[in-house]
Structure 1
Amino acid sequence: MFIHGFEGSWLKHPFWRSRFLLERPADLVLLRTCDVTAVVIDLSRGVGPDPSAPPPPPAPMFLPEPLAEAVKADRDYARRTIARAHGVARGIYESAGQGLPIDAREATAVVAEIADCVARNPGMFVDMARLKSKDEYTYLHSVSVCGLMVNLARQIGLDDEAMRAMGLAGLLHDVGKTSVPATVLNKPGRLDDAEFAMIKRHPEAGHAMLRGAEGINQEALDVCLMHHEKMDGSGYPFGLEGAEISLAARMGAICDVFDALTSDRAYKDRWTPLRAVTEMFGWTGHFDPELLFQFCRSIGVAPTGLLVRMASGRLGVVLPDGGQGLRSMVRLFYSAEHRRMIPLEDIFRGMKEVVVGLENPADWGFSDWDAAVRLLSEGHNALPDSQR
């Protein structure tokens, strides 16, 4: 059965895209248990429902064997896709480093595979691509940024063509680093001024390599040239700020830094995803704040202490889910409609309700938000005395 679309907002369904062939048992379970009330079926691309068949029984909450098989299949598919993408990225980057012309047609094909892999299981691909050794960093970083770009593009509602364009931009964003000596790229200690000047030239070097190459889109050119620009104008190579930085480049800056922070490097050990996004939120002026929030939604991790609004209108505080800093949860505690406390409820990634916005605690009268976060994280269904 080919799903052509869902009734209502794409935020209400758990799938990576709204058009796909429904063929996996795990996807059928998700479809039957999510909030979607109706789907549009394309009969020209798949079978339709049998009108003579009896109504299906209520979907069980868990199907251990099919779901376990689906997880294994997704893991194997992700492993094969990452291996192929690693080889393609290596070939492109090494050719560029030798001064040979770049042909992005093979890269375009592997980006489509990555997009399909992310469609099957976003968390699986992102997590597996993030786990790379220091020796594998150069090429797998580009593969990982590609997947993160595709995932973020889906999160903000871009169509399939735009998502693939963002993926290609992620795969090729660091090609200019082939012009930087490996001794500088992999130096374990602090770079001196001359070495940092070499690093700062790689966006323009990469842009020159990609300009006019076969199969290159504008998004790839923008991300390559501008992924080190910052919203406050303190980045390089041009010191652009705000809207002067394209959407693709603002996305690329977030995905590039997140993967770098959560990877082992020659000069640092990787951070947990929770620590990475917490630090990134603290770097005021570096990133587009709305895009950074959407990025956190796309990977299921957000800094502890954010006040967020759910689709139901309830407010919650973001807290860590477990002790490894890999995921976040939202502890609901307040009704925005009635402006009063409600019984605490924890929402984890993958459950039905979704985060729809970031709120300012002061707008809700939470004057001592740090104290409120401490109480809520300890399980107290109360705010500080001054805020009751």
Structure 2
Amino acid sequence: MLRRITPDQIKIGMFIHAFDESWLENPFWLTRFLVKNANDLERIRKSAVPSVVIDERRGLPLKAASSGRATATVPTRPDLGSPPRSPLAQQQANSFAEETERATEMVRAATDEIKALFDAVHGGDIVNISAFSATVVDIISSIERNPRALIAFTRLKSRDVYTYVHSLSVSALLASFGRSLGMTEQEVFELGLAGLLHDIGKIFIPDAVLRKPESLTDEEFAVVRTHPERGHLLLCQDPTTPAVVLDVCRHHHERVDGTGYPFRLKGEAISRVARMAAICDVYDALTSNRVYKSAWTSQQAITKMHRWVGHFDPELLLSFMKVIGVYPAGLLIRLPSDRLAVTLLNGRRASRAKVRVFYCARTRTPLPLQDVFIEDNLSHDEILKEQDPLDWGIANWAVVAEQLMDGKVPRLPSKPLFS
């Protein structure tokens, strides 16, 4: 049961469901959490929040607090945990199976919620950014408990809810991406919000165009290309919309070679977050079933994206590969252990990248072929960066890579390789 109370009525053990204030104004990054200690209590009471909504099914009811039974109904394992100073680092880890079960329910509920919010905006309601914040918290919390479960589950989106689950997927991918790059909690949160709202302009595109199973005409594609600007104008209605959200919505279809839209921006003229969003948006689209095509595997999608030179920031694309643990087969890469390796097909171990080491970059000598799995947590060996074969004196990398992938020792240049 949800109940609205004033800050002075809040007790330790209550579960906060929502603040009656913009998420930018409330004292916590999380908007749903269990009040666990006096510090949480003091921060709420000292804030400018006029009232909060508590969920009496998940925490201490108001009646129990009034009667002095302060600990009788406190849940031992709240859904989102408390809002500590570093909430991202304190989520309880779950196994892939455990988190997939939770993610399933979360995606179903969030899909309905996003659809309702998008429909309301389409019907003429003013955009309220804070209405989307709880969904972003749920997404990031799931990522923190297990970074792969939610993203894997959203691959199963059906065609009829594609737009809404695509938004969830891009939100999860962007938040994971930002987290992997060491961004702050607030930055990760805003990236998640940007992913959730990046395609909101598509509510103005006719379903007949969005769901068309054949190729679009030039006129139809021109209509589709209006959605970043229309979405941007829509989000500007709420003055609390973060700049990152506006940026991603407007520029996620720009390409580093200037072939994107709506402004044909090039290179550094496109912000880093917009370049990140472009990668997440295309990857999710390629790995989803659409009305006009079946989903590609992660390996197929990443391989194609890597070959589309000029579309994506190459360094960010390699960083994104780390997030999802998938690399195109045949890349020359250097490990922090100063070994050169070729990336292999993941096979059954699709959750971890597999490489074949063949050369010591430090001593410039061949090594016995050795297969290495890149750990999920990157605590042991991780892919440092892609290498240009010519920088190592290998002019025929395609041949060498094929030999290595076949398990054969290649003939390397007779002169020493150089870094």
Q: So what's the TM-score if we normalise by structure 1?
A: 0.80
Are 2:334 and 1:309 equivalent residues in the alignment?
A: yes
Are 2:211 and 1:142 equivalent residues in the alignment?
A: no
Matched with 2:40 is: none
- Deviation, structure 1 residue 72: 2.8
1:20 to 70, 89, 110: 89
Letter in 2 for 1:318: T
- 1:45-104 residue CA offsets vs partner (Å, 9 max, x unmatched): xxxxxxxxxxxxxxxxxxxxxxxxx33321122212222321232122212222211112
Letter in 1 for 2:137: A
Matched with 1:89 is: 114
- Deviation, structure 1 residue 303: 1.0
Are 2:269 and 1:241 equivalent residues in the alignment?
A: no
**After the TM superposition, which residues 105-116 of structure 1 pair with which residues of structure 2 at under 5 Å, given as runs?**
105-116=130-141
Letter in 2 for 1:312: S
**After the TM superposition, which residues 75-224 of structure 1 pair with which residues of structure 2 at under 5 Å, given as runs?**
75-213=100-238, 215-224=240-249
SS at match of 1:145: helix
Structure 1 gaps of 5+ residues are 1-16, 27-69
CA distance in 1, matches of 2:330, 2:219: 40
Matched with 2:256 is: 231
Residues 224 and 370 of structure 1: CA distance in aligned 2, closer, same or farther (over 3 Å)? same
Question: How much identity, in percent, do the aligned residues show?
Answer: 40
**The structure with more helix, counted as a fraction of residues:** 1
2:323 to 287, 295, 298: 298
Determine if contact 2:333/2:342 at 8 Å carries over to the other structure: yes
CA distance in 2, matches of 1:317, 1:219: 36
SS at match of 1:355: coil
Letter in 2 for 1:20: A
Matched with 1:59 is: none
Once the two structures are overlaid, the 10-residue window that deviates more, 176-185 or 155-164, is 155-164
SS at match of 1:332: strand
Aligned length, in residue pairs: 328
SS at match of 1:315: strand
Residues 23 and 239 of structure 1: CA distance in aligned 2, closer, same or farther (over 3 Å)? closer
Matched with 1:361 is: 389
Letter in 1 for 2:392: W
Are 2:399 and 1:371 equivalent residues in the alignment?
A: yes
Determine if contact 2:88/2:185 at 8 Å carries over to the other structure: no
Structure 2 gaps of 5+ residues are 1-85
CA distance in 1, matches of 2:355, 2:157: 29
- 1:307-327 residue CA offsets vs partner (Å, 9 max, x unmatched): 111121111111111179776
Q: So what's the TM-score if we normalise by structure 2?
A: 0.74
Residues 324 and 135 of structure 1: CA distance in aligned 2, closer, same or farther (over 3 Å)? farther
Tell which structure's C-alpha radius of gyration is larger: 2
Point out which structure has higher relative CO (alpha carbons under 8 A, 6+ apart): 1
SS at match of 1:106: helix
- Deviation, structure 1 residue 228: 0.7
Letter in 1 for 2:375: G
SS at match of 2:341: strand
Once the two structures are overlaid, the 10-residue window that deviates more, 212-221 or 168-177, is 212-221
- Deviation, structure 1 residue 234: 1.1
CA distance in 1, matches of 2:242, 2:411: 51
1:286 to 290, 295, 311: 311
CA distance in 1, matches of 2:230, 2:341: 45
Letter in 1 for 2:388: N
Q: CA RMSD in A?
A: 2.1
Determine if contact 1:142/1:171 at 8 Å carries over to the other structure: yes
**After the TM superposition, which residues 5-84 of structure 1 pair with which residues of structure 2 at under 5 Å, given as runs?**
20-21=89-90, 24=93, 70-84=95-109
CA distance in 2, matches of 1:111, 1:279: 29
